[in-house]
Amino acid sequence: MELTMTKSKHPAGAGVNALRGRHSERGIMLIECLIYIAVVMVVIGAGLAVFFQALDFSRKLRANADDIVRAVRAGERWRADVRTATGPIRLEEGTAGLALHIPRKEGEVVYFAVTNVLVRCTVANDRCERLLAGVKNSAFHNDTLGAVQAWRWELELAGRMKAVRVAPRFTFAAVPAQEAKP
């Protein structure tokens, strides 16, 4: 049996170099870990910014939807008042602008807009109520459709959102009960 010594492929200081490599690899791993943490924090920050922007948009959208519901309810109330009119409805110029006077059994009802608020007043008990806030434009029109005298109310709400593609506009039409009969 012959014993021969073979020369190692690694130089004599291979162990020292291997240790240096391990230390430098550990340092790189720590730096990489810090970089990953920083990237994750940036992604979480961007995600939170988008989330809060969507939350704010959702709140404004909900407020617009609530305004639309209030406008439709006010329009239905106006239509009910016009339908129950007992005499001729008249449109008069007052101190607050144009006012629509609707005579009813319970007393006259007056609609007018003051400083972006639609007000409904009952003359019999001197009671006024804010019917709708956030009104940009409000106009009452008397339309003659053949032998029928109809009334139209055009309403535009002030939008809450800056970039509104379509302004919330409504048109309500009603015919007094005395005009509806042939």
Rounded to the nearest integer, the mean pLDDT of the chain is: 82
The backbone torsions φ and ψ at residue 178, rounded to the nearest 5 degrees and listed phi first, read -65, -30
Domain spans in the chain, listed from the N-terminal domain onward: 49-87+133-180
For residues 42 and 135, the answer to whether their CB atoms sit within 8 Å is no
Give the list of residues 6+ apart from residue 26 with CB closer than 8 angstroms, or none: none
The angle formed by the CA atoms of residues 165, 155 and 54, to the nearest 5 degrees, is 35
| 63, pLDDT greater than 70 | yes
| 177, pLDDT greater than 60 | yes
| 173, pLDDT greater than 70 | yes
| 180, pLDDT greater than 50 | no
- Please give the pLDDT value at position 98: 84
| 42, pLDDT greater than 90 | yes
User: Per mean pLDDT, which range of 54-58, 108-112, 175-179 is the poorest?
Assistant: 175-179
Model confidence at 103, pLDDT cuts 50, 70, 90, reads very high
For residues 105 and 97, the answer to whether their CB atoms sit within 8 Å is no
Pairwise pLDDT comparison (112 vs 182), residue with the higher score: 112
pLDDT above 90 covers a percentage of the chain that reads 27
- Please give the pLDDT value at position 79: 92
